[in-house]
């Protein structure tokens, strides 16, 4: 039955789409039945996309990675353009006095993902929360990459006392569990975005130094460095022209994984009430709204930000791991 | 080449004479091991010193005035000044640090600056057993789950179930512990009513009750650890299962289960121990969050509560104790490699 196997992918794809459409439009206010149908539709759709993609692009196409990339692109552009989108109110309590509170998600209503206790729109809050998470964690990773990369390259190249000082300092930072360090910082710092990003960058920097140092030490033994030296290049030139471009790639791929770690760290901090303060939205404090009996009666309060957080962390993890196994020779070992 | 000086030193000691006797070589080896241990301990002390100094200096930067935290608003400047003087906040930083470290060495971490002004060390001593128990239970559960999962996965590597397990563990690693905890409470406590929530019963109130209350929090901690351990153990087991002695055992007619547990497991467990060490920081983090989520009287609840009220004395003490435990555990794990795997001992020497 070659025809059937060939058509199975497109058929699954269409079936998934139809079921999703029925779930969204057909059984409104269906509660868990609706959720179940959405999950079934999404599973069929995923399977269908996989089959179609493998038929079209060969058996080794990585569907998960592509879907992760699509998710991140959609999320990031929606977060960037959130103020321009025709969506509800995200934090002004006075503006939502007439809005329904704790509305259930209904994709065809004015509040597609529902509202919270104060009538604030969850879709809008998720997008503004994404702004917080992404700005803070990407900023922190960039700071960590620049500073950690520089220190790591110098330490790995010069060795001696510089290296010793750098490694004792990194070890000291790594000697405090990350979340405990964050809590200690949060005791002292005002929870502004800059301060949170700064605190997170302290988490990212030590491991960046370690990776840059280890890569530099491996690269410093290679022929192209020796060739550069033999041609009379200064230490600075060797570090900037020979080592930096080669260290940057493993550093950047580790940065992808680090972003997901920092997103979770920021969410944890806000969940503990030490990060972004309500009513300003962050995924962590949105999930914290669902503590206690709220989750039981209104699961969407936790599930909406929870699912978005999970997808985002998963996407950064998946893409980062793939990048690491490709660009970071040491990652293959673990 | 300066970057090999340490290695060369050690090498020079080993090959002092042209043809060293076995005894001389052994003595040189012992000397080298002692020296390495000494350097390691010195580094640990330096790290601990820096951590304590860093924590102290950091928390002295607190921008809410401790005097205001203690007295509340609406007192005269003189009153605040007296409190500050009393706390020693007007002395130079290094002097205060020396004082603090001196009393910390005598087991005095000061008293909390918010009511009811408990002694910090007493509070830590009351909270620590809860956290340690939770973390150990979590890791224990994780081992219980991950060993069979990893064995199944490695034995059927590439199969359908293996792929499901891999996808599952990767997904679980992307679920933050507070989310996992909320979902577990929702399903097992509210939904099915199997477990209590937000209650704790001390170990001296009976083991059964204690374990019953600790189960759900420990399970939350165990989820992420299980996922990580399963992945690492699986890849190690796959390598081990290709060794000749596994084939020999199979040829002798040993059963699969027997081979798995008595031949394959131990040689495959080194990376898992490493991973346990590396993920210790995350384990402590998830213990903190789980305690907060389930309102358990452990270190996490203590430190989060103190951080929220600006009680910097308690945060200082707690961070110092946690860092001590963390560094000590990591050092122990480092040392344990040599005992677990003789090859490590030799390759280092």
Percent of chain B past pLDDT 90, that is, above it, reads 6
What SS3 class is residue B304?
helix
Mean pLDDT for chain A overall: 83
**Phi, psi of A107, rounded to the nearest 5 degrees:** -60, -20
Using the beta-carbon criterion (under 8 Å), do A290 and B323 form an inter-chain contact? Answer: no
B119 forms beta bridges with B111
- What per-residue confidence (pLDDT) applies to B348? 45
Using the beta-carbon criterion (under 8 Å), do B285 and A299 form an inter-chain contact? Answer: no
Compare A74 and B199 and report the one with higher pLDDT: A74
Report the residue of chain B nearest A275, measured CA to CA: B308
- What per-residue confidence (pLDDT) applies to B323? 86
For residues A65 and A50, give the distance between their C-alpha atoms in angstroms, rounded to a whole number. 11
pLDDT grade for B184, boundaries at 50, 70 and 90: confident
For residues B220 and B176, give the distance between their C-alpha atoms in angstroms, rounded to a whole number. 10
- What per-residue confidence (pLDDT) applies to B3? 43
B194 pLDDT higher than 80: no
- What per-residue confidence (pLDDT) applies to B13? 43
- What per-residue confidence (pLDDT) applies to B19? 61
With contacts defined as CB-CB under 8 Å, which chain B residues touch A264? 176
Range of A237-251, A310-324, B79-93, B110-124 with top mean pLDDT: A310-324
ipTM: 0.83
- Average pLDDT estimate for A26-51: 77
With contacts defined as CB-CB under 8 Å, which chain A residues touch B307? 183-184, 186-187, 274
Using the beta-carbon criterion (under 8 Å), do B288 and A179 form an inter-chain contact? Answer: yes
- What per-residue confidence (pLDDT) applies to A262? 93
Using the beta-carbon criterion (under 8 Å), do B51 and A160 form an inter-chain contact? Answer: no
- What per-residue confidence (pLDDT) applies to B252? 84
- What per-residue confidence (pLDDT) applies to A333? 40
- What per-residue confidence (pLDDT) applies to B10? 41
**Cα distance from B176 to chain A (closest Cα, Å)?**
6
pLDDT grade for B248, boundaries at 50, 70 and 90: confident
pLDDT grade for B1, boundaries at 50, 70 and 90: very low
pLDDT grade for A334, boundaries at 50, 70 and 90: very low
Using the beta-carbon criterion (under 8 Å), do B306 and A187 form an inter-chain contact? Answer: yes
Name the residue facing A177 among B43, B285, B315 (closest C-beta). B285
Take residue A142 and report the two structure tokens written for it: 């960039």
A1 pLDDT higher than 70: no
Range of A1-10, A114-123, B85-94, B199-208 with top mean pLDDT: A114-123
For residues A39 and A44, give the distance between their C-alpha atoms in angstroms, rounded to a whole number. 9
Count CA within 13 A, CB hemisphere, residue B131. 26
Compare B9 and B219 and report the one with higher pLDDT: B219
- Report the residue of B176, B181, B223, B273 to disrupt the A interface, i.e. the one with the largest count of A CBs within 10 Å: B176
B111 forms beta bridges with B119
Range of A72-76, A98-102, A220-224, A320-324 with top mean pLDDT: A72-76
pLDDT grade for B63, boundaries at 50, 70 and 90: low
Range of A33-37, B198-202, B218-222 with top mean pLDDT: B218-222
Residues A238-265: tens digit of each pLDDT: 888 888 888 888 888 889 889 999 999 9
- What per-residue confidence (pLDDT) applies to B15? 43
pLDDT grade for B203, boundaries at 50, 70 and 90: low
Q: What residue ranges do the domains of chain B occupy?
A: 2-6+20-105, 120-340
Cα dihedral B74, B75, B76, B81, rounded to 10, equals -130
Average the pLDDT over each of A65-79, A236-250, B103-117 and give the range with the smallest value. B103-117
Task: Report DSSP letters for A138-195, one per residue.
Answer: HHHHHHHHHHHHHHHHHHHHH-HHHHHHHHHHHHHHHTS-HHHHHHHHHHHS---HHH
Residues A44-72: tens digit of each pLDDT: 888 888 888 888 887 778 888 899 999 99
Residues A183-200: tens digit of each pLDDT: 888 888 888 888 899 999
CATH of domain B120-340: 1.10.3720.10
Report the residue of chain A nearest B43, measured CA to CA: A168
- What per-residue confidence (pLDDT) applies to B247? 83
Report the residue of chain A nearest B168, measured CA to CA: A314
For residues B151 and B128, give the distance between their C-alpha atoms in angstroms, rounded to a whole number. 34
For residues A150 and B162, give the distance between their C-alpha atoms in angstroms, rounded to a whole number. 41
A201 pLDDT higher than 80: yes
With contacts defined as CB-CB under 8 Å, which chain A residues touch B61? 188
Residues B119-142: tens digit of each pLDDT: 888 888 888 888 988 899 999 999
Residues B305-318: tens digit of each pLDDT: 888 887 888 888 88
For residues A231 and A212, give the distance between their C-alpha atoms in angstroms, rounded to a whole number. 25
pLDDT grade for A329, boundaries at 50, 70 and 90: low
Q: Are B315 and B113 in contact (CB under 8 A)?
A: no
Using the beta-carbon criterion (under 8 Å), do A274 and B304 form an inter-chain contact? Answer: yes
Q: Are B291 and B134 in contact (CB under 8 A)?
A: yes
- Report the residue of B180, B184, B285 to disrupt the A interface, i.e. the one with the largest count of A CBs within 10 Å: B285
Report the residue of chain B nearest A163, measured CA to CA: B3
- What per-residue confidence (pLDDT) applies to A146? 94
- Report the residue of B56, B179, B304, B327 to disrupt the A interface, i.e. the one with the largest count of A CBs within 10 Å: B179
* Locus of tokens 């006392």: A161
- What per-residue confidence (pLDDT) applies to A111? 76
Residues A123-157: tens digit of each pLDDT: 888 999 999 899 999 999 999 999 999 999 999 88
With contacts defined as CB-CB under 8 Å, which chain B residues touch A287? 178-179, 182
- What per-residue confidence (pLDDT) applies to A316? 92
- What per-residue confidence (pLDDT) applies to A278? 77
Task: Report DSSP letters for B157-215, one per residue.
Answer: TTSHHHHHHHHHHHHHTTS-HHHHHHHHIIIIIIIS--S--S----GGG-HHHHHHHHH
Using the beta-carbon criterion (under 8 Å), do B285 and A268 form an inter-chain contact? Answer: yes
- Average pLDDT estimate for B7-34: 61
Compare B52 and B13 and report the one with higher pLDDT: B52
> Would the pTM of this model clear 0.95, i.e. be above it?
no
Using the beta-carbon criterion (under 8 Å), do B176 and A313 form an inter-chain contact? Answer: yes
**Cα distance from A276 to chain B (closest Cα, Å)?**
13
For residues A205 and A251, give the distance between their C-alpha atoms in angstroms, rounded to a whole number. 11
Mean pLDDT for chain B overall: 78
- Average pLDDT estimate for B231-254: 84
pLDDT grade for A331, boundaries at 50, 70 and 90: very low
Q: Is B157 exposed, middle or buried (0-12, 13-18, 19+ CB in 10 A)?
A: middle
B12 pLDDT higher than 60: no
Average the pLDDT over each of B194-203, B218-227, B311-320 and give the range with the smallest value. B194-203
- What per-residue confidence (pLDDT) applies to B198? 60
A11 pLDDT higher than 90: no
- Average pLDDT estimate for B284-294: 88
pLDDT grade for B17, boundaries at 50, 70 and 90: very low
Q: Within 10 Å of residue A29's Cβ, how many Cβ atoms?
A: 9
- What per-residue confidence (pLDDT) applies to B116? 72
Take residue B314 and report the two structure tokens written for it: 């308690």
């Amino acid at each position: 039955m070659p025809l059937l196997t060939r058509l199975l992918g497109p058929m699954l794809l269409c079936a998934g789409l139809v079921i999703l459409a029925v779930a969204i439009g057909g059984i409104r206010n269906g509660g868990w039945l609706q959720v179940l149908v959405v999950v079934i539709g999404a599973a069929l759709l995923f399977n269908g996309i996989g089959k179609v993609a493998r038929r079209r692009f060969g058996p080794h196409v990585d569907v998960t990675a592509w879907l992760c990339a699509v998710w991140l692109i959609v999320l990031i552009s929606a977060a960037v353009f959130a103020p321009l989108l025709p969506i509800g109110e995200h934090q002004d309590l006075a503006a939502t006095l007439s809005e329904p509170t704790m509305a259930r998600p209904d994709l065809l209503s004015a509040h597609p993902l529902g509202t919270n206790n104060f009538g604030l729109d969850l879709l809008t809050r998720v997008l503004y929360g994404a702004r917080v998470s992404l700005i803070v964690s990407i900023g922190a990773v960039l700071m960590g990459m620049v500073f950690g990369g520089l220190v790591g390259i110098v330490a790995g190249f010069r060795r001696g006392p510089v290296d010793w000082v750098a490694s004792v300092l990194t070890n000291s930072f790594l000697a405090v569990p990350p979340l405990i360090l964050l809590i200690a910082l949060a005791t002292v710092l005002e929870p502004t975005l800059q301060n949170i990003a700064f605190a997170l960058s302290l988490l990212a920097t030590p491991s960046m130094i370690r990776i840059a140092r280890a890569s530099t030490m491996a690269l410093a033994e290679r022929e192209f460095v020796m060739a550069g030296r033999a041609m009379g290049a200064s230490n600075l030139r060797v570090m900037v022209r020979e080592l930096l471009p080669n260290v940057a790639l493993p550093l950047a791929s580790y940065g992808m994984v680090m972003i997901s770690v920092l997103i979770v760290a920021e969410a944890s901090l806000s969940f503990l009430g030490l990060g972004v303060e309500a009513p300003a939205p962050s995924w962590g404090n949105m999930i914290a709204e669902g503590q206690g009996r709220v989750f039981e009666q209104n699961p969407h309060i936790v599930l909406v930000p929870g699912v978005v957080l999970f997808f985002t962390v998963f996407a950064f993890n998946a893409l980062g791991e793939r990048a690491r196994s490709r660009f970071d020779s040491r990652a293959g070992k673990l | 080449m300066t970057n090999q000086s340490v290695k060369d030193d050690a090498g020079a000691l080993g090959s002092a004479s042209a043809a060293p006797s076995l005894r001389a070589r052994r003595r040189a080896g012992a000397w080298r091991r002692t020296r390495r241990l000494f350097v390691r301990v010195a580094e640990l002390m330096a790290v601990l010193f820096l951590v304590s100094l860093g924590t102290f200096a950091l928390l002295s930067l607190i921008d809410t005035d401790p005097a205001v935290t203690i007295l509340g608003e609406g007192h005269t400047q003189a009153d605040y000044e007296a409190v500050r003087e009393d706390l020693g906040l007007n002395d130079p930083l290094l002097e205060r640090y020396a004082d603090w470290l001196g009393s910390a060495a005598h087991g005095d971490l000061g008293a909390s600056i918010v009511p009811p002004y408990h002694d910090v060390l007493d509070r830590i001593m009351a909270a620590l057993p809860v956290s340690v128990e939770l973390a150990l239970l979590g890791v224990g559960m994780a081992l219980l789950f991950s060993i069979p999962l990893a064995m199944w996965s490695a034995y059927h590597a590439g199969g359908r179930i293996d792929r499901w397990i891999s996808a599952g563990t990767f997904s679980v690693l992307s679920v933050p512990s507070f989310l996992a905890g909320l979902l577990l409470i929702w399903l097992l406590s509210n939904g099915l009513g199997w477990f209590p929530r937000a209650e704790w019963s001390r170990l001296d109130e009976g083991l059964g009750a204690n374990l019953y209350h600790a189960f759900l929090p420990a399970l939350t901690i165990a989820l992420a650890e299980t996922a990580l351990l399963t992945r690492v153990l699986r890849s190690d087991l796959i390598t081990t299962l290709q060794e000749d002695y596994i084939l020999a055992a199979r040829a002798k007619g040993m059963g699969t289960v027997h081979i798995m547990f008595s031949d394959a497991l131990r040689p495959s467990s080194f990376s898992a121990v490493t991973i346990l060490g590396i993920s210790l920081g995350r384990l402590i983090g998830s213990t903190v969050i789980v305690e907060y989520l389930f309102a358990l009287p452990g270190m996490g609840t203590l430190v989060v509560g103190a951080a929220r009220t600006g009680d910097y004395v308690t945060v200082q003490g707690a961070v110092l104790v946690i860092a001590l435990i963390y560094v000590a555990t990591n050092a122990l794990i480092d040392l344990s490699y040599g005992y677990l795997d003789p090859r490590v001992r030799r390759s280092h020497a």
